[in-house]
Amino acid sequence: MSKAVFYHAGCPVCVSAEHTVADCLNTPVEKVHQGEARSRVSEAEKLGVKSVPALVIDGQVFHINHGADLSILK
């Protein structure tokens, strides 16, 4: 089974992607709110995440629309 992590910032663009894409994947998805878990911003960055919302599945990064750049969440 795939490992999926959804990085978001709670913004409307993120919420839409969360409910319509991330929640509809047939694999469990860990959700990380970058505003509340700032220590994980650098983790996301290392994985190649540039902006949120983003879905990382088995190491592949999928930016879904554009809510906020990761840089403003640091």
Q: How far is the CB of 39 from its own copies (least distance, A)?
A: 26
In this structure, what DSSP letter does residue 27 have? Answer: S
Nearest to 44 by CA among 36, 52, 24, 64: 52
Tell me how far the alpha carbon of residue 9 is from its chain's centroid: 8
Residue 17 in contact with its own copies, rule: CB under 8 A: yes
What does the block give as tokens for 73?
């969440």
Residue 15 in contact with its own copies, rule: CB under 8 A: no
**Interface positions, 35-74, toward its own copies (CB under 8 A):** 55, 57-58, 60-65
Binding residues (CB under 8 A) for its own copies: these are 2, 16-17, 20-21, 24-27, 55, 57-58, 60-65
